[in-house]
Structure 1
Amino acid sequence: MKRSKQNPATDRAVYSEFGGAEANPLSRPDPPTSEQKLTVQASRKGRKGKTVTVVSGFQISAAKLTELAKKLKSQCGSGGTVKEQTIEIQGDHSQKLAEALKKLGYPVKVSGG
């Protein structure tokens, strides 16, 4: 049995375990800000006694989350980072962050203290 000459680059079977692009969680649109339930809390666990304000509950893309973190860090005048759909701001800025996020349209709950 002879095979006809075909382009090997286009003659490949593609396997997708969970469907196609529809199943990719990164390809779905971000929900509106009013539907995301955010929690703001000050935490010192695992940080050698340093206080960090953690904002969690985001359902937005990594690029938008990084951009939002940059805005919040500048409003608080301190450093911070983005880790696994959460924003961590150095210091206890719970009230400042809650007010800033409410102005942006996010429903915010301040947890603890």
Structure 2
Amino acid sequence: MSRGTKLSLDLGASWGEGWSVEEEKSSKTFTLLDPSAHRLVFQKEKRKGKIVTLVGPFSLTEEEAQKTLSVLKKSLACGGAYKEGWMEFQGDISPKVREHLEKLGFKFKK
């Protein structure tokens, strides 16, 4: 290429010739369940060297989940968060969490 000429990068079809990008809309149905219809599981993860206990998946509204999480955090004296249908608790406290959730009417897979 000599000095003064520009490199042309126009290859293939252009967007003006009828090409379009269609986004596929996901039709995930979110059903709300009462506590006795839940089948929860526990998972443990290590994040930054600390153990985190995950409980879920919950099928609750965001408001109900935050209320339940708030009650659990106060009774367990630990930190936690609600993300994407899972409740996260700081520490390895699965027996305590199970006990408190069973009192609230939730059920677990065996």
TM-score range for the pair, normalised by the shorter chain length: 0.5 to 0.7
Instruction: Tell me how far apart the structure 2 counterparts of residues 85 and 43 of structure 1 sit (CA, whole Å).
Output: 16
Instruction: Tell me how far apart the structure 2 counterparts of residues 108 and 31 of structure 1 sit (CA, whole Å).
Output: 14
The residue identity in structure 2 corresponding to 1:60 is L
Instruction: Tell me how far apart the structure 1 counterparts of residues 94 and 59 of structure 2 sit (CA, whole Å).
Output: 20
5+ residue gaps, structure 2, are 1-24
Structure 2 length as normaliser, TM-score? 0.68
Taking a change above 3 Å as real, the CA distance of residues 61 and 78 of structure 1, as seen in their structure-2 partners, is: same
5+ residue gaps, structure 1, are 1-17
Match in the other structure for 1:14:
none
Match in the other structure for 2:45:
43
What is the correspondence of 1:46-57 to structure 2 with a 5 Å cutoff? 47-57=47-57
Aligned-residue RMSD, C-alpha? 2.2
Aligned residues: 85
How far residue 24 of structure 1 moved from its aligned partner, in angstroms, is 9.0
Larger radius of gyration: 2
Match in the other structure for 2:98:
98
How far residue 66 of structure 1 moved from its aligned partner, in angstroms, is 0.7
What is the correspondence of 1:66-85 to structure 2 with a 5 Å cutoff? 66-85=66-85
Structure 1 length as normaliser, TM-score? 0.66
Please state whether the residue corresponding to 2:105 is helix, strand or coil. Answer: coil
Q: Please state if 1:108 is matched with 2:108.
A: yes
Instruction: Tell me how far apart the structure 2 counterparts of residues 75 and 42 of structure 1 sit (CA, whole Å).
Output: 20
Please state whether the residue corresponding to 2:49 is helix, strand or coil. Answer: coil
Taking a change above 3 Å as real, the CA distance of residues 77 and 31 of structure 1, as seen in their structure-2 partners, is: same
The residue identity in structure 2 corresponding to 1:40 is F
Please state whether the residue corresponding to 2:64 is helix, strand or coil. Answer: helix
Match in the other structure for 1:31:
33
